A and B are shown apart, each in its own frame.
Chain A
Amino acid sequence: MSISKESKHAFDAAPWSGKTKRYDIVKEGTIALAVVAIFALFLSLLMGSPDETPLTFKGWAVSNPDNFYATTVQELAGTSGTATYGAPYNKGAEGLNVGPLWPQKWMGVTHPIDSVNDFVISPLSTQVMSTEIASAVATWKAAPDTQKQDWATAYDDAITKVEGKISDVPAGAYGPVPALAQGLTDMAKGGALDAALLSQGGFFQTDNTKQILFFGDGSYLDDAGTAANLQGGTWGMMNETGRYPGQAWLWLYSFWYQIPPFNNEESKPIGANADLYIMVLMGVMSAGLIFIPFIPGVKNLPMRIPIHRGIWRQYYDENGIKRRKK
């Protein structure tokens, strides 16, 4: 039997006037809730939930003092990831772009972070300092900006040359930078830096941005992420610590980071701007999901691939309805 498109649409839209059966929607909902509750209860009692202890600056400075020290010097020299990030933290870089679109730069610096003062000088200033550290802070504050830059850059370069082994750095014109770095390392080892970075001299504070960014500038967080199999290049966005399921629903977002050109930062323009390209791509695909009913080809897949014959098998069998040719 051939049915016109309009008739079919009218039929699909009209209230069903064919065979019906009893349906207790309240009973169905109650049973479903009980089943889900039992499942969740069973899984909770059997598996618990992930709770890996958060990293601390104390842990970083104690376990890898050279890396913490070198990162502090990078903050002073303006070469750290945070100092060279760009918006929304500072003007250290232009940000990412897709063609003529520079949304990161356009939104501007909305969460200003000065890696020198916010990460090093201000936290040190909250402490009762030794004479040497107090003198170093005073010298730093009194020096002209060009002098500060020369000291910190010279020391940062010297540390890079010896591949981060602080004890091998030769003597040089580093001004108060070594003392500042040592002072912050000692402060972190004592456990005072975590709170000082968060509070920044205030009382109430719920924004962990400065702590998180400082963490990310060194190798401590990155190494921990690698050890927990959480790196983006290895589907880490879907993973959770331990043996727990993570955000598996991010598989498609994570997928793009596994393939060229997105996984190659050297590849311009897409790889170098992968974060932005993938966000745009996912935005388009999300819109695609919403508008599937209007996308030629995709909207017809359910009619062409007869999975519906299984879903409504009983109806088709009872009424002897064969599949129509599409």
Chain B
Amino acid sequence: MSEMWTAKLRTKWQKELPIEKLLPDDQPAYVASWIYVFGVLTLSALAMIIASGIVLAFEGPAWYHTSDAGKFTNSMHFWSVQLFFVFMVIHLWGKFWMAAWRGNRFRTWATGAVAFISSIATAFTGYLVQTNFDSQWISFEAKDGFNSMGVGAFFNVTNLGQMLLLHVAFLPLILGVLTVVHVLMVRKRGVVPPIDAEPALSNRGPQ
């Protein structure tokens, strides 16, 4: 039984990320700043982006040009993206000034940083599939950078079909996986203790 891959995975999961860590009902008392809110706000904005994006996907990229409901849904998508980046950048700066990679948390930092970069790529393809003047302009201008790297051979920003598929399928999948892994790592490792924290003070047990 213990040799089964499934059993090994379950044992490892239960050891490293028990349900009490995944869905905690308490947290360190030092978590007492508004800066902590921006992580969950980023996740919430991402949820809004996905929800509005799914509605847009059902109706197609040109729907919002001709429909009031489409225009509203597109606006929700657009502003959720703007909020997402505002929250994420504040979250990122907050974590930098906390040196949140301390205590074996490099992978938490790295998955967050890669998720940030992936978000830029995902949003960029979104701007390319607006099917308006802006997407004409951006695709013409952006092609030179990608072509100069040789990336244009397989990532053609002037190909609406390719950009649309990447925007609604591949890139959200990458971003989604990174986000889930990032959040699980936060839950596993816990929130980094304050810089200058006194170890002696933390040995008193929960109070």
Contacts and interface: CB of A to CB of B under 8 A. Distances in A.
Determine which residue in B196, B199, B202 has the highest number of CB atoms from chain A within 10 A of its CB, and name it. Answer: B196
Given A1-B198, A237-B141, A23 B27 contact: yes
A47 B78 CA distance: 11
B207 A225 contact: no
Main secondary structure of the interface of A (DSSP, over half): helix
Interface stretch (A63-71, A136-144, A172-180, A212-220): A212-220
A16 B190 contact: yes
Interface in A211-270: 212-213, 215-216, 221, 224-225, 228, 230, 232, 236-237, 240-241, 244-250
A45 B78 CA distance: 12
B106 A293 contact: yes
A23 B201 contact: no
Determine which residue in A14, A48, A305, A312 has the highest number of CB atoms from chain B within 10 A of its CB, and name it. Answer: A312
B76 A40 contact: yes
Contacts of A314: 30, 32-33
Interface string B61-86: 00011000001101111111011010
Given A7-B199, A32-B37, A290-B110, A247 B127 contact: yes
Contacts of B181: none
Contacts of A147: none
B137 A224 contact: yes
Given A32-B40, A36-B80, A307-B97, A212 B158 contact: yes
A49 B98 contact: no
Given A249-B89, A321-B197, A212 B76 contact: no
A269 B11 CA distance: 57
Contacts of B149: 103-104, 276, 279-280
Nearest to B72: A44
B9 interface: no
Contacts of A302: 96-99, 195
B131 to A, nearest CB: 7
A228 B150 CA distance: 29
Interface residues of B, number: 104
A96 B150 CA distance: 10
A104 B113 contact: no
A128 interface: no
Given A11-B197, A311-B35, A289 B79 contact: no
A215 to B, nearest CB: 7
Nearest to A207: B159
B25 A23 contact: yes
A273 B35 CA distance: 41
A215 B101 contact: no
B118 to A, nearest CB: 11
A118 to B, nearest CB: 13
Given A25-B24, A311-B98, A12 B193 contact: yes
Contacts of A203: none
Contacts of A22: 25-26
Interface string B119-163: 010011001001111111101110111111110111010111110
Nearest to B102: A12
Interface string A67-95: 00000000000000000000110000001
Given A230-B137, A241-B134, A18 B29 contact: yes
Interface of A: 1, 3, 7-9, 11-26, 28-29, 32-33, 35-37, 39-41, 43-45, 47-55, 87-88, 95-96, 103-104, 106-108, 110-111, 206-209, 212-213, 215-216, 221, 224-225, 228, 230, 232, 236-237, 240-241, 244-250, 273, 275-276, 278-280, 286, 289-293, 299, 301-303, 305, 307-308, 310-316, 319, 321-324
10 contacts: A17-B204, A18-B28, A18-B202, A20-B27, A20-B28, A29-B44, A40-B79, A44-B79, A49-B64, A230-B137
Given A36-B80, A104-B150, A212-B143, 16 more contacts: A9-B102, A13-B103, A18-B206, A19-B30, A20-B27, A39-B79, A47-B79, A208-B139, A209-B156, A247-B120, A279-B149, A290-B109, A311-B98, A312-B30, A312-B33, A321-B198
